[in-house]
Amino acid sequence: MNTEPDFHKPLTQMPQWHAYVKAINAAPRMAPAPRIVEAGGMQIDLTAQTYSPEVLDTATALLQARNFNAARQALFDGEPVNTTENRAAWHTQLRAPRPIEEVAEERKRALEFVRRSDSERRWRNIVHIGIGGSDWGVRLVVGAFGYASMWRNIRFVANIDGHAVEGGLAGLDPRETLIVVATKSFKTAETLENAKRAIEWMQAAGITKPLNQVIAVTANPEAAQAWGLQQSQIFRFWDWVGGRFSIWSAVGVAAGLAVGPDVVAGLQSGAKAMDDHFLTSPIQENAPVQLAMAGIANRSILDYGSLNISAYDSRLANLIPYIQQLEMESLGKSVDINGQPITVPTGPAVWGMPGTDAQHTFFQWLHQGSDGAPVDFIACQHEDHAWKEHHIQLLAHCLAQREALMNGKTFEQALRENMESGMSETDARKLAKHKVHPGGRPSNLIMMPSLTPFSLGALLALYEHKVFVQGLVWGLNPFDQWGVEYGKVLATDITAELKGAAAQAPHDASTRYWIERIRSQME
Ligand code: F6P
């Protein structure tokens, strides 16, 4: 990778950053005309973002100073862009039509497994056990495309909370159940413990060889073999696939079983279309880049602490945790790749809910709260059900919320509205103050033609590449997650202590109190 000086420079020492800040501060909070970028069959409307020609020019100069072209190429070439773990983040390879041999081989094996299971009408139930990146993508895909009809039941078990595995197995016939253990590391405590419960559940039903009803998807096949599985039961991926980027790998095998291999193939081709767009479009028309730069302006310059995702499609409920993990695990960092503090705020908190439920839950805060948050509105132009009226109203709500956030409502407008409703002037003035909407609140509208595997694949890759660009500009490594790793280590130690082991390291007084109390009151 090209490592010219500015690539590694702290952001705030770059003159191009200061030029960008100046341009953002001077620009209007929305574009004068619709500002729409097309990518992966979607239209991405950035009109409600701070815009001026200088904003575009200074963003471009900043990206060039960060060696954007070389960095992007390094990502696609499988270079070790994950610098703290010295490995690639080569998820784009997983959706390449002609990938490297080992990827092609595993893709073929997973497909054959799904096809064979289908032709033999095997596995009426699938229990997918995995967490984080080994879970959310499969849940998202099944939620998005499993609504119509599925002959298999699919259950998800992620949380270590025993109620999760209890509920995940409840009511299923163990003889007709396949357990999919998805874990990149094959070390994650939650997944391994839940997998044990599933095995015991089969044994309790009289199944003498429960492991015959298990497959694993992992980047640590040796550990899966040591756990008792045959090579033929293990689908592998590689350490160069980050957990939150792994839906494109055999992690999707349970999705293939639940909603069909064509869905998996469609997702991959949509993501590939977005990869091509990201690789070849000029910066100013490059959707992931423009979304990334708008996000950086909102977070680091205009001081918005969070990003709201409002998908106006109830099939996309799991898109929110999916993007939450993608963005927050990737960008929740405060030091740059040299370990120096980044002196501007980085990755926002991501939260949301499908619209229109969201409107009746937190939109009041978005419209008139003191902080506000940028919103990504996501919608489909065409519905896949029979009730046109519902879809018209759904889209109307989406556009209306966005319009209110963008344009607001002045005191004069509110006053006029009150007077026209017959109020006295005194009452109208009093109430009008409560009806003012500040407006100028940023948002994006991402419009898919309809919810197809292709469009969902493109959407997910759009966010992946956006995150990559933001990592590049902030100068951080979006591909590690040391914060999560530390928590896992502490939890392992505390688990041992709760079971009676001596403390490995001193605790604070409160943690000590709770360990002692829980331990002493355990039956
Ligand atoms: O949540 C932290 C994390 O490390 C994620 O990055 C990963 O997706 C998840 O744990 C599960 O890890 P594994 O797939 O190794 O079980």
Residues with CB under 6 A from ligand 1: 131-134, 183-185, 188, 191, 243-244, 329, 481, 484
Domain chopping of the chain, boundaries: 11-66+281-383+393-474, 91-267, 482-520
pLDDT of the residue at 4:
47
As a whole number, mean pLDDT of residues 487-509 equals 93
Residue 147 banded pLDDT, cuts 50, 70, 90: confident
Three-class DSSP category at 289: helix
As a whole number, mean pLDDT of residues 44-70 equals 98
Angle at 85 between CA 234 and CA 475, to 5 degrees: 130
Q: Which of 7-11, 92-96, 141-145 has the weakest average pLDDT?
A: 7-11
| CA-based nearest residue to 455, from 40, 38, 37 | 40
Best probe residue, ligand 1, of 85, 138, 185, 253 (max atoms within 8 Å of C-beta): 185
Fold topology of 11-66+281-383+393-474: Rossmann fold (3.40.50)
Q: How far apart are CA 11 and CA 24, in angstroms?
A: 16
Q: Which of 144-148, 304-308, 324-328, 384-388 has the weakest average pLDDT?
A: 144-148
Strand partners, 137: none
Q: How far apart are CA 84 and CA 330, in angstroms?
A: 13
453/1: higher pLDDT? 453
DSSP 476-504: --TT--HHHHHHHHHHHHHHHHHTTPPPS
The token pair at 303 is 């001081």
Q: How far apart are the first and last CA of the chain?
A: 58
pLDDT of the residue at 523:
66
- CA–centroid distance, 381 to ligand 1, in Å, is 34
Q: Could you report the per-residue pLDDT of 250-263, keeping only the tens digit for each? A: 999 999 999 999 99
Q: Domain 91-267 - what CATH class? A: alpha beta
β-pairing, 443-448 vs 42-45, is antiparallel
Which atom number of ligand 1 is nearest to the Cα of residue 135?
Answer: 8
- CA–centroid distance, 217 to ligand 1, in Å, is 13
91-267 and 11-66+281-383+393-474 share a CATH fold: yes
DSSP state of 147: S
Place of tokens 């984080």: 132
Share of the chain above pLDDT 90, in %: 96
Residue 167, pLDDT > 60, answer yes
- 360 labelled catalytic: yes
pLDDT of the residue at 5:
42
pLDDT of the residue at 7:
58
Where do runs of H (alpha helix) occur along 158-296?
Answer: 162-169, 189-204, 221-226, 253-259, 261-280, 287-296
pLDDT of the residue at 6:
52
Q: Could you report the per-residue pLDDT of 271-313, keeping only the tens digit for each? A: 999 999 999 999 999 999 999 999 999 999 999 999 999 999 9
Q: Could you report the per-residue pLDDT of 305-324, keeping only the tens digit for each? A: 999 999 999 999 999 999 99
- CA–centroid distance, 221 to ligand 1, in Å, is 16
- CA–centroid distance, 321 to ligand 1, in Å, is 14
Q: How far apart are CA 215 and CA 180, in angstroms?
A: 5
Residue of minimum CA distance from atom 9 in ligand 1: 132
Average predicted confidence (pLDDT) for the chain: 96
Best probe residue, ligand 1, of 84, 139, 157, 188 (max atoms within 8 Å of C-beta): 188
Share of the chain above pLDDT 70, in %: 98
- CA–centroid distance, 243 to ligand 1, in Å, is 6
Q: How far apart are CA 94 and CA 252, in angstroms?
A: 11
As a whole number, mean pLDDT of residues 361-366 equals 97
| CA-based nearest residue to 244, from 322, 317, 347 | 322
Residue 3 banded pLDDT, cuts 50, 70, 90: very low
Which of 360, 382, 388, 390 is the catalytic position?
A: 360
